[in-house]
Amino acid sequence: MVDIKIFDGGGQTELHIRIKYIYILNDMMSYLTLQKTSNPCNIPPGPWKLPIIGNLHQLLGEHPHRRLQNLAKTYGPLFHPMLNEINLIVITSSEFIRDIFKTHDLKFA
């Protein structure tokens, strides 16, 4: 049963507002489902991400390099954070960086 109430001030109906919320919730649920099920690449592990902002909330503050260092202690020398909707791969090991530049040197030239 749907309650329909019309506001007198020429505003939107309550039904329209409810429908907008349903669409927003549906979009968020489909986004979260796609985030969990679609992994096209073999990417390294990373911290849990929020929709839209990714891991930006974990890096904001006075010393973002120290926060990245703490994340590296948790997830290893190679991990995958997101800033907004941009995928990043953070490498904190000099051996990994050396191997990557030796193996993929033409891609970085």
Based on the fold, state whether residues 64 and 31 are members of the same structural domain. Answer: no
Based on the fold, state whether residues 21 and 73 are members of the same structural domain. Answer: no
Domain count within the chain: 2
Based on the fold, state whether residues 93 and 56 are members of the same structural domain. Answer: yes
Based on the fold, state whether residues 25 and 47 are members of the same structural domain. Answer: no
pLDDT at 75: 92
Based on the fold, state whether residues 45 and 34 are members of the same structural domain. Answer: no
Based on the fold, state whether residues 28 and 50 are members of the same structural domain. Answer: no
pLDDT at 107: 76
* Phi then psi dihedrals of residue 108, to 5 deg: -100, 0
Q: Which is more confidently placed, 9 or 82?
A: 82
pLDDT at 74: 92
Cβ contacts of 73 within 8 Å, gap of 6 or more = none
Look up tokens 């839209």; give the residue. 52
Based on the fold, state whether residues 45 and 2 are members of the same structural domain. Answer: no
Q: What is the DSSP secondary structure assignment for residue 45, as one 8-state letter?
A: P
pLDDT at 21: 63
pLDDT 10s digits, 23-60? 676 666 666 665 555 555 688 888 888 888 888 888 88
> Cα separation of 87 and 10, whole Å?
44
Domain, as residue range, for 13: 1-38
CA atoms within 13 A on the CB side of 19: 8
Based on the fold, state whether residues 80 and 104 are members of the same structural domain. Answer: yes
Based on the fold, state whether residues 33 and 51 are members of the same structural domain. Answer: no
pLDDT 10s digits, 61-96? 888 889 889 999 999 999 999 888 888 889 899 898
Look up tokens 């849990």; give the residue. 48
